[in-house]
Structure 1
Amino acid sequence: MTSKTLRFGIWAAVHGARAALQDPDEPFDASWERNKHLVLEAEALGYDSTLIAQHTFNPHRPDFDQLDAWTAAAGLAALTTRIELIAAIKPQLFHPVILAKMALQIEAISRGRFALNLVNAWNKVEFEKTGLPFAEHDDRYAYGRDWISVVSRLLAGENLTHRSENFDLKECALFPRNSYRARPTLYVGGESAPARDLVADHGDVWFINGQPPADVAVLIADVRRRPRRGPPLRFGLSAFVIARETEAEANAVHEHLSALAAKDAAVRAVQRANSDAKVVMLQTLAKAPRVGSNGGTGAGLVGSYDQVAERIQAFHALGIELFMLQFQPFEAEMARFAREIFPRVRPGGAARDSVSQRA
């Protein structure tokens, strides 16, 4: 096993359930109150991080609620005490100076627990509805590379003059500067060749969509071969978890969720139509049926408690440091994972008492 600390995070329920929208055990709820409770519960149970995805409009149905990532991150920064808060950002939606200023403020509110997740936009509707240009895939990454180079230097306290095709900055310095560390952690998503180049040059942690260990090993090896300055790149993996006492029980739950997800076929079709076909994540998802988003059950964390623990350890040996997890129904399964899996993979890592247990 690697020497890197094994960490677990949760996807915030920013647009409701991750597997099926018509699950009676998890009615649709993307509200601030639900997400606040979810993240506070995760922190109390011993989870290390939460990822707050950014969407202006709900990607499943335009008339469904959608939590705002950055205002929610600021609120959670004031309410939490230990958990890392990772807010996703699509560069085309925010000027880098404004975004860096917001990030430094949330970093101050959280006392050094904030992080950014740079993602290349895939949902064309967010741009078409607002009249913003939606560039070609590789052009979006070129813009993102320029954008993150500006943001990272501003976050590090540089007095920046920068002129490029996209930006013209003159002696930009942001105050107050970060008093907790050099800058917030930069997570990068995406698996295309431009994404791999970008994370090797600018990222601290690469988020990989859920897929089998052999595929993950190939991705990690490829990025590790790329030129890089600074400390070694770290790796995270998205995964939807179904863990039970026996493999048969877990498979039965998987079948149940798959049947529920099938009811969302019309919604998923609209989502696919609104997506950029060049996005590698979508190509990965099309390889085989799976439950959950961002690879979902493709990582294979479906089985008995011991099987799930063994598979996590196998991924960790490949270099995965952070597992960003999804569950359904979220709150109950998140608690189950902490109770059953933490002790199996973390020395002395039993779940803590949850907020509801201590109330």
Structure 2
Amino acid sequence: MTHPLRFGIWALVHGPRAAHQDPEEPYDASWERNRDLVLRAEELGYESTLVAQHTINPHQEDLDQLEAWSAAAALAALTSRIEIITAIKPYLYHPVVLAKMALGIENISRGRFAINLVNAWNRPELERAGIGFAEHDERYAYGREWISVVSRLLQGERLTHKGRYFDVQDYVLRPKDLYRERPRIYVGGESGPARALVADHGDVWFVNGQPLADVASLIHDVASRPRDGAPPLRFGLSAFVIARPTAAEAEAAHERLLRLAERDAPMKAIQKENTDPKVVMMQTMQKSARVGSNGGTAAGLVGSYEEVAGRIVDFHAAGIELFTLQFQPFEAEMKRFAEEVIPRVRQRQRDHGLSVADSDRRVG
């Protein structure tokens, strides 16, 4: 079963997603910018926002970096409808502490909070804190036990657990979730251990932007894995969108961002040096020229309004439920997408007799 199609945005927790030297998108990772961006996204009808977690800027250490979990709590209080997905690297928080924080934000938001489990790729973030940066598969083993503890505590279970990494004795959190069984768990990562982890413990798998055929292959692999009685896994896709009235205009805008992104070469060299080479996301992102993080324009959402709408419908048919989108300049292009592309997507769905999400509404 394919769930209703939803649209979300990446919060700008560490500045522009495509190019850092764009005169149309000055660097701004402030709380005020992110607050206003998410509130505007909610007004425009977007259903979700992803708040990535980094304690230090992953691109350049002297650049600002929004703190994800305090920002998520504030967003939960200020918004009324949008889902707030906040990333977490397990090594940074004990699972008992993190579960308590997650339940608090879930209650503040009245049932609109979600966790995005990521197992870290930025070496200095952990090494310089004295935590250490474990080998790739070891990080996933740690994350697997970590999320199993968090998930059970989120459900209100009185937990006794003794494993390789954690020893939790007769622990229970109150109040438990007042709105549902527990907050939704999103999982990122495309390696073998990541796929096994999401099949066993996730609700939604975040796939990095890449061509439709590759995404369909990934979905087929993970969807076919046993779930031990859990509901079928759902799927999200990260993508950078460049939509214009014509394909030629979109490609011109794409070329502009590609040229600007070339100026970020020193920053990208730092990022590459700090990244675990076993991280599949980084391997995928090297396959073709693109702008945006987490695959960016590799998903192919560059073209006319009609072309982009058609590609989104194709991704949805392959199993993608949630599109978590990036733009630049963000506010203007986010509005353009809401006004020009989303209505075309909804119309295509109606033309094919498909159900449209209940949250579909007029653009404000």
TM bucket (normalised to shorter chain) is: over 0.9
For the aligned residue pairs, the C-alpha RMSD in angstroms reads 0.9
2:46 and 2:129 mapped to 1: Cα distance?
36
Residue of structure 2 equivalent to 1:300: 300
2:164 and 2:317 mapped to 1: Cα distance?
42
Residue of structure 1 equivalent to 2:216: 217
Contact 1:309 1:344 in 2 (8 A): yes
Contact 1:204 1:233 in 2 (8 A): yes
Residue of structure 2 equivalent to 1:356: none
Q: Residue 352 of structure 1 aligns to which amino acid in structure 2?
A: V
The residue correspondences of 1:154-233 to structure 2 (distance < 5 A) are 154-229=153-228, 230-233=230-233
Residue of structure 1 equivalent to 2:102: 103
Residue of structure 2 equivalent to 1:18: 17
Residue of structure 1 equivalent to 2:257: 257
Residue of structure 2 equivalent to 1:240: 240
Residue of structure 2 equivalent to 1:91: 90
2:322 and 2:32 mapped to 1: Cα distance?
26
Residue of structure 2 equivalent to 1:60: 59
Contact 2:207 2:238 in 1 (8 A): yes
Instruction: Give identity over the alignment, percent.
Output: 69
Residue of structure 1 equivalent to 2:351: none
Contact 2:2 2:316 in 1 (8 A): no
Contact 1:186 1:205 in 2 (8 A): yes
* Secondary structure, counterpart of 1:312 in structure 2: helix
- In the TM superposition, what is the alpha-carbon distance from 1:227 to its structure 2 partner? 1.4
Contact 2:198 2:205 in 1 (8 A): yes
- In the TM superposition, what is the alpha-carbon distance from 1:352 to its structure 2 partner? 2.0
- In the TM superposition, what is the alpha-carbon distance from 1:351 to its structure 2 partner? 4.1
Contact 2:2 2:321 in 1 (8 A): no
- In the TM superposition, what is the alpha-carbon distance from 1:218 to its structure 2 partner? 0.6
2:250 and 2:142 mapped to 1: Cα distance?
43
Residue of structure 1 equivalent to 2:6: 7
2:363 and 2:254 mapped to 1: Cα distance?
27
Which TM-score applies when normalising by structure 1?
A: 0.97
2:132 and 2:2 mapped to 1: Cα distance?
44
2:269 and 2:63 mapped to 1: Cα distance?
16
Residue of structure 2 equivalent to 1:71: 70
* Secondary structure, counterpart of 2:28 in structure 1: coil
Contact 2:245 2:305 in 1 (8 A): yes
2:7 and 2:174 mapped to 1: Cα distance?
33
The residue correspondences of 1:118-137 to structure 2 (distance < 5 A) are 118-137=117-136
The residue correspondences of 1:28-67 to structure 2 (distance < 5 A) are 28-67=27-66
Rate the CA distance shift 1:3–1:283 in 2: closer, same or farther, 3 A.
closer
* Secondary structure, counterpart of 2:160 in structure 1: strand
How many residue pairs align between the two structures?
352
Q: Residue 205 of structure 2 aligns to which amino acid in structure 1?
A: W
* Secondary structure, counterpart of 2:23 in structure 1: coil
Contact 1:19 1:328 in 2 (8 A): yes
Contact 1:343 1:350 in 2 (8 A): no
* Secondary structure, counterpart of 1:340 in structure 2: helix
Contact 2:86 2:115 in 1 (8 A): yes
Contact 2:122 2:275 in 1 (8 A): yes
Q: Residue 23 of structure 2 aligns to which amino acid in structure 1?
A: P
Q: Residue 43 of structure 2 aligns to which amino acid in structure 1?
A: A
- In the TM superposition, what is the alpha-carbon distance from 1:26 to its structure 2 partner? 0.5
2:83 and 2:361 mapped to 1: Cα distance?
19
2:2 and 2:145 mapped to 1: Cα distance?
33
Contact 2:238 2:324 in 1 (8 A): yes
* Secondary structure, counterpart of 1:341 in structure 2: helix
1:58 and 1:286 mapped to 2: Cα distance?
21
1:352 and 1:256 mapped to 2: Cα distance?
28
Contact 1:342 1:350 in 2 (8 A): no
Extract unaligned runs of 5+ from structure 2: 348-355
Q: Residue 296 of structure 2 aligns to which amino acid in structure 1?
A: G
2:54 and 2:338 mapped to 1: Cα distance?
28
- In the TM superposition, what is the alpha-carbon distance from 1:3 to its structure 2 partner? 4.2
* Secondary structure, counterpart of 2:115 in structure 1: strand
- In the TM superposition, what is the alpha-carbon distance from 1:350 to its structure 2 partner? 5.6
- In the TM superposition, what is the alpha-carbon distance from 1:109 to its structure 2 partner? 0.3
Q: Deviations over 1:302-338 (max 9, x none)?
A: 0000000000000000000000000000000000000
Residue of structure 2 equivalent to 1:357: none
1:350 and 1:295 mapped to 2: Cα distance?
29
2:152 and 2:45 mapped to 1: Cα distance?
32
2:248 and 2:202 mapped to 1: Cα distance?
40
Contact 2:243 2:337 in 1 (8 A): yes
Q: Deviations over 1:99-127 (max 9, x none)?
A: 00000000000000000000010000101
- In the TM superposition, what is the alpha-carbon distance from 1:259 to its structure 2 partner? 0.3
Residue of structure 1 equivalent to 2:324: 324
Residue of structure 2 equivalent to 1:282: 282
Q: Residue 195 of structure 1 aligns to which amino acid in structure 2?
A: A
Residue of structure 2 equivalent to 1:311: 311
Give structure 1 regions of 4+ aligned residues with deviation exceeding 3 angstroms: 347-351
Residue of structure 1 equivalent to 2:266: 266
Contact 2:2 2:319 in 1 (8 A): no
Contact 1:101 1:174 in 2 (8 A): yes
